Amino acid sequence: MAIVRDYDVVIVGAGPAGMTAALYTGRAMLRTAVLERGFPGGELLNTEYLDDVPGFPKILGYELAEKFAAHAKQFGAEFFETLGVTSVTKMPDGYFHTEAENGEIFRSPAAIVTAGGTPIKLGVPGELEFAGRGVSYCAICDAAFFKQQVVAVVGGGDAAVEEADFLTRYASKVYLIHRRNEFRASKILQKHVFDNPKIEIIWDTVVEKVEGDAEHGMKGLRMHNLVNGERKILDATGLFVFIGFRPNTGVINGHFDHDVMGYVLTDNAMMTSIPGLFVAGDLRAQLTRQVTTASGDATTAAIAADKYITRFKEMQSEGTADATRGALQSSHVSAGGYT
């Protein structure tokens, strides 16, 4: 028999979204479990410095992660580290069963999934070695660290083309490397790139290796032209990879509404099409993916979950047959002022 632990709310993932949600649910006196497959921090642990979090002009990623975790724990959230979640399932009685890798089941009326996403890697030598020391998967986050430097972007979709254009605000020169001889990106974004004198496009080419050394970080790229077979080194101190991003939605058991890219669709209370299941952060369909937006989503999700849980419990004690339906309505009542 699996061990079943009872909580008011279970949060999957302890990145900025999960830890913000835990802060708010803990502060609302909800018995909160946070299950994290690694250690608290999420992508903050892969980020050297951040300079765009209000109140912190420059902070190391891991330091910010420690502050987020300490703050959430201060309000009583229980963190289960190195304990991955395998599935989150809504049961016929309205409770969620969040199953952990060790077989334990965390039972709760509401669940908040903040499992983030995974940038698709090139998979070439040097890429991981120089991640955060030249190699990046986020232009908004890291562009400012490449002022007056030469950088390369890999990809051919909207993200690659748009971010190459954005990077020219900082970099002296941007090479846009694409494996084919035409982009998939929308025509209007392509036009911006073709018209930008700081961008040079390298067609029919793949990156084979990221070159650098331990002292200085990334110094260049070894490229391979797929048409003429030529190999050469491009001197560049930055590489931005935009070849796709996968939202980590695999734990959600059952149908949920999502967009064409697989990002979870929610209403403005961050509730998914499964009543009582909320999501926040990088796995949610939205315009941008930053620490501040993850925290903002999570704040809303936690407050809405609190309302949902309160109503769920009231309806259960009244013996109302469809607790989920009543709870669903109450989580969407707007507060009159600051909640």
Ligand X SMILES: Cc1cc2nc3c(=O)[nH]c(=O)nc-3n(C[C@H](O)[C@H](O)[C@H](O)COP(=O)(O)OP(=O)(O)OC[C@H]3O[C@@H](n4cnc5c(N)ncnc54)[C@H](O)[C@@H]3O)c2cc1C
Which residue's CB is nearer to ligand X, number 44 or number 328? Answer: 44
Q: Specify the stretch interacting with ligand X by CB under 6 A; choose among 115-123, 159-167, 198-206, 306-314.
A: 115-123
Shortest distance in whole angstroms from residue 179 CB to ligand X? 22
Q: Could you say which of 10, 28, 30, 141 contacts ligand X (CB under 6 A)?
A: 141
- Taking CB under 6 A as the binding criterion, the range among 16-24, 152-160, 163-171, 323-331 that sits at the site for ligand X is 16-24
Helix crossing, 323-330 with 291-317: angle to 10°?
130
Is 141 one of the annotated active-site residues of the chain?
yes
- Alpha-carbon distance of 260 to 166, in angstroms, equals 25
248 binds ligand X (CB under 6 A): yes
157 binds ligand X (CB under 6 A): no
**154 near 137, Cβ under 8 Å?**
no
Cβ 249 to ligand X, closest distance in Å? 10
Pick the binder of ligand X from 24, 26, 37, 263 (CB under 6 A).
37
CA distances from 3 to 102, 103, 271 (A): 10, 8, 28
Residue 12 touching ligand X (CB under 6 A): yes
Instruction: Identify residues 285-324 at the interface with ligand X (CB under 6 A).
Output: 289-292, 294
Contact between 33 and 112 (Cβ < 8 Å): no
Q: Which of helix, strand or coil describes residue 78?
A: strand
Closest CA to 77 of 65, 66, 69: 69
Q: Which residue out of 8, 52, 138, 235 is catalytically annotated?
A: 138
Q: Which is nearer to ligand X, 131 or 327 (CB)?
A: 131
Exposure class string for 233-259: b at 16+ Cβ within 10 A, else e: ebebbbbbbbbebebbbebbbeebebe
Q: Is 138 an annotated catalytic residue?
A: yes
Helix or strand holding residue 221 (H, E): strand 217-225
Single-letter amino acid code for the residue at 296:
G
Task: Compute CA 37 distance to the chain's CA centroid, rounded to the nearest angstrom.
Answer: 15
Q: How far is the CB of 31 from ligand X (least distance, A)?
A: 19
User: Rounded CA gap, 257 and 274, in Å?
Assistant: 9
Quote the least distance from Cβ 112 to ligand X, whole Å.
11
Q: Of residues 161, 251, 270, 271, which one binds ligand X by CB under 6 A?
A: 251
State how far the alpha carbon of 51 is from the alpha carbons of 46, 142, 192, 289, in Å.
Answer: 15, 9, 27, 15
Q: Whole-number minimum distance, CB 190 to ligand X, in Å?
A: 25
CA distances from 214 to 47, 60, 126, 136, 209 (A): 17, 19, 11, 17, 15
| 17 lies in the binding site for ligand X (CB under 6 A) | yes
193 interacts with ligand X by CB under 6 A: no
* 65 to 104: interface string for ligand X, x by CB under 6 A: -------------------xx-------------------
Q: How is 105-167 classified by DSSP, letter by letter? A: EEEESEEEE---EEEPP---TTTTTTBTTTEES-HHHHGGGGTT-EEEEE--SHHHHHHHHHH
Given 30, 50, 164, 171, the residue binding ligand X (CB under 6 A): 50
Q: Of these residues, 8, 51, 141, 165, which one is catalytic?
A: 141
Under the binding rule (CB under 6 A), the answer on residue 243 touching ligand X is no
Q: For ligand X, which residue of 26, 94, 109, 116 counts as binding (CB under 6 A)?
A: 116
Is the Cα torsion angle 21, 23, 26, 32 positive or negative in sign? positive
Among 14, 33, 176, 207, which residue sits at the site for ligand X (rule: CB under 6 A)? 14
- Residue 150 CA to residue 337 CA, distance in Å, equals 49
Q: Looking at the annotation, which residues are catalytic?
A: 138, 141-142
Write out the residues near ligand X by the rule CB under 6 A.
Answer: 12-18, 35-38, 42-44, 46-47, 50, 52, 84-85, 114-116, 119, 136-138, 141-142, 248, 251, 281-282, 289-292, 294
